[in-house]
């Protein structure tokens, strides 16, 4: 175990709160063991007060052992369905509308994600409110931030807000893990580490070293 991995495990053990960001390296299909990787992350976070923000829309995280009440997916969930014309704010769960046709205007349904022509954001907002409330409780607490596999497709969701959180909380430590985009800003450089590895493999490595 190198010093960086030892430091990450030590910071995890010492943390009062853990904020996790999940990005594109964790998309279903990118890694055949993605469900096992989520379960490994769950074992790492065992007994910790954590919250996870994911920009992935494939809903694979919800099939894992992670607590769904501690997850928010602000970019949406493709297994949930919305009217493609956004004639209603209604959102349906998989199979709830068998013919996949909007019962209000008869337009086809589509995934409730930011890729929809008109994204109905009400689907994630209740969880987002839980997340923002939880985040206020991290102020001046020992916070570990794990940013896993997030690139620059939607930096306003994870990358930039996480940097801001670490900047203002002097008790926070951050590990940004990505094969090619692990760079950290100078402003938080003394408390943030760039890990140039695939984040799925890195989490599996840490879990095996527990």
Whether residue 38 is found in the same domain as residue 97 = no
Number of domains into which the chain is organized: 2
- State the SS3 of the chain: CCHHHHHHHHHHHHCCEEEEEECHHHCECCECCHHHHHHHHHHHCCCCCEEEEECCCCCHHHHCCCCHHHEECCCEEEEEEEECCCCCCCCECCCCCCCCECCCCCCEEEEEECCCCCCCHHHCHHHHHHHHHHHHCCCCCCEEEEEECCCCCCCCCCHHHHHHHHHHCCCEEEEEECCCCCCCCHHHHHHEEEECCCHHHHHHHHHHHC
pTM recorded for the entire structure: 0.95
Average pLDDT rounded to a whole number, residues 57-79: 96
Same-domain check for residues 45 and 115: no
148 shares a domain with 96: no
The fraction of the chain above a pLDDT of 90, given in percent, is 94
Q: What is the pLDDT of residue 84?
A: 97
Please indicate, yes or no, whether residues 188 and 97 belong to a single structural domain of this protein.
Answer: no
Tell me, yes or no, whether 149 and 176 share the same domain: yes
Mind listing the pLDDT tens digit for each residue in 106-152?
999 999 999 999 999 999 999 999 999 999 999 999 999 999 999 99
Domain-terminating residue out of 55, 86, 120: 120
Whether residues 107 and 131 share a domain: the answer is no
Range of the domain at 88: 78-120
Q: Are residues 68 and 28 in the same domain?
A: yes
């Amino acid at each position: 175990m190198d010093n960086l991995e030892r430091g990450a495990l030590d910071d995890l053990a010492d943390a009062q709160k853990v904020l996790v960001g999940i990005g594109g390296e964790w998309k279903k299909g990118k890694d055949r063991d993605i469900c096992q990787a989520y379960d490994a992350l769950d074992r790492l976070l065992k007994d910790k007060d954590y919250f996870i923000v994911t920009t992935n829309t494939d809903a694979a995280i919800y099939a894992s052992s992670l607590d769904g009440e501690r997850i928010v997916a602000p970019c949406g969930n493709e297994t949930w369905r919305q009217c493609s014309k956004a004639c209603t704010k209604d959102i349906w769960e998989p199979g709830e509308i068998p013919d996949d046709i909007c019962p209000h205007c008869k337009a086809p349904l589509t995934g409730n994600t930011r890729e929809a022509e008109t994204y109905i954001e009400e689907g994630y907002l209740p969880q987002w409110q839980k997340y923002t409330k939880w985040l206020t409780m991290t102020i001046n607490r020992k916070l570990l931030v794990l940013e896993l596999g997030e690139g620059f497709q939607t930096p306003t969701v994870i990358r930039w807000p996480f940097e801001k959180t670490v900047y203002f909380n002097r008790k926070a430590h951050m590990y940004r893990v990505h094969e090619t985009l692990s760079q950290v800003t100078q402003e938080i450089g003394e408390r943030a580490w760039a890990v140039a590895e695939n984040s799925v493999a890195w989490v599996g490595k840490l879990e095996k070293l527990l």
